[in-house]
């Protein structure tokens, strides 16, 4: 607080006058003291504010480093089911004649981080949220809460094995329907580091292609996805938009999509890639033959219902 004395000088309340009641000296010392105290008051709160700011930054960094509750998905690798995986044929047939198709049939995958055994941080999830080539999915929508890495891998492997078994059954049955002698045929399938059931349709289609003498693909690259059951019915899968991007990246010009996934396909097909709607192995094989023969314009594609 300041007050003004009778001679018009300004001094701080309670400050002693070194000259007593005799002639007051110049106001400079009092003014100097006032500036010093004002500066002290101005800076006195800064260390506390800096400390609070530093703590806030540290807490933010720690939060970003914590494991995220989301799964980050990106387009994964593709695999030609008519080719090899690390030197081993993806589809091997014994006891029946096989034929070589000069085209490619690509199964497609999604890379997933944030699943058991492959954690992601909140920072990585935030980055994925801002990247249009990545997708965020709540963990509970991908795997059961509490599932550990061993359980997750075991379930994924079992789904792949079941998918391959169904693909063999459906593929052999359809090849027999086409007039191929498959009695005594033994089929094994091999792909490294891929799990889940979504490649079933492409396994079955690849098997039928190998057992028939026609060059169905017409040397083109056709990708696709979808589960399959023993009767050849094609089912929906997850991450189809990411799988289409992976297919386009690896040279596919056609993409066989489950009819039950059409809602996720419409508006998401990359430029230069043409989708074909399929509901069965028969649909997929018919589409492949028409693509190879240059008659694909009439094939159905996904539309908004």
- Catalytic residue set: 198, 243
Q: Which two tokens stand for residue 252?
A: 């596919």
Rounded CA-CA distance 175/179 in Å is 7
How many CA atoms, within 13 angstroms, populate the side-chain half-sphere of residue 109? 15
Residue 270 near residue 245, CB atoms below 8 Å: yes
C-alpha span between 303 and 282 (Å, rounded) = 20
Instruction: Report d(CA 168, CA 284) in Å as an integer.
Output: 15
Distances (CA, A) of 291 to 163, 210, 247, 284: 25, 17, 16, 10
> What are the φ/ψ torsions at residue 284 (nearest 5 degrees)?
-65, -45
Collapsing DSSP to helix, strand or coil, 220 comes out as coil
Q: How many CA atoms lie within 13 A of 137 on its CB side?
A: 20
User: What is the separation, in whole angstroms, between the first and last Cα of the chain?
Assistant: 78
Helix (H, G, I), strand (E, B) or coil at 101: coil
Rg from Cα positions in the chain: 35
Q: Report CA 100 to chain centroid distance, whole Å.
A: 34
């Amino acid at each position: 607080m300041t007050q003004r004395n009778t001679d018009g000088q300004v001094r701080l309340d309670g400050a002693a006058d070194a000259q007593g009641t005799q002639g007051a000296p110049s106001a400079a010392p009092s003014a100097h003291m006032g500036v010093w105290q004002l500066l002290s008051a101005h800076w006195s709160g800064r260390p506390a504010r800096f400390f609070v700011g530093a703590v806030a930054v540290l807490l933010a960094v720690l939060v970003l480093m914590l494991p995220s509750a989301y799964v980050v998905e990106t387009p994964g690798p593709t695999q030609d089911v008519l080719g090899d995986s690390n030197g081993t044929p993806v589809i091997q047939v014994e006891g029946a004649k096989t034929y070589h198709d000069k085209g490619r049939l690509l199964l497609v995958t999604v890379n997933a981080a944030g699943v058991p055994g492959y954690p992601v941080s909140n920072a990585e999830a935030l980055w994925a949220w801002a990247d249009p080539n990545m997708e965020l999915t709540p963990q509970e929508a991908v795997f059961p809460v509490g599932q550990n890495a061993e359980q997750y891998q075991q379930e994924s492997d079992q789904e792949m094995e079941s998918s391959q078994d169904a693909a063999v059954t459906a593929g052999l049955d359809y090849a027999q329907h086409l007039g191929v002698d498959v009695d005594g045929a033994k089929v094994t399938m091999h792909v490294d580091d891929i799990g889940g059931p979504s490649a079933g349709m492409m396994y079955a289609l690849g098997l039928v292609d190998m057992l028939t003498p026609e060059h169905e693909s017409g040397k083109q690259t056709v990708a696709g996805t979808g589960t399959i059951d023993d009767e050849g019915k094609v089912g929906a899968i997850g991450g189809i938009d990411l799988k289409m991007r992976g297919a386009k990246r690896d040279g596919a010009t056609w993409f066989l999509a489950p009819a039950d996934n059409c809602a996720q396909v419409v508006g998401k097909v990359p430029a230069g890639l043409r989708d074909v709607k399929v509901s069965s192995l028969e649909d997929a094989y018919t589409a492949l033959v028409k693509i190879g023969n240059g008659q694909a314009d009439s094939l159905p594609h996904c539309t908004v219902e």
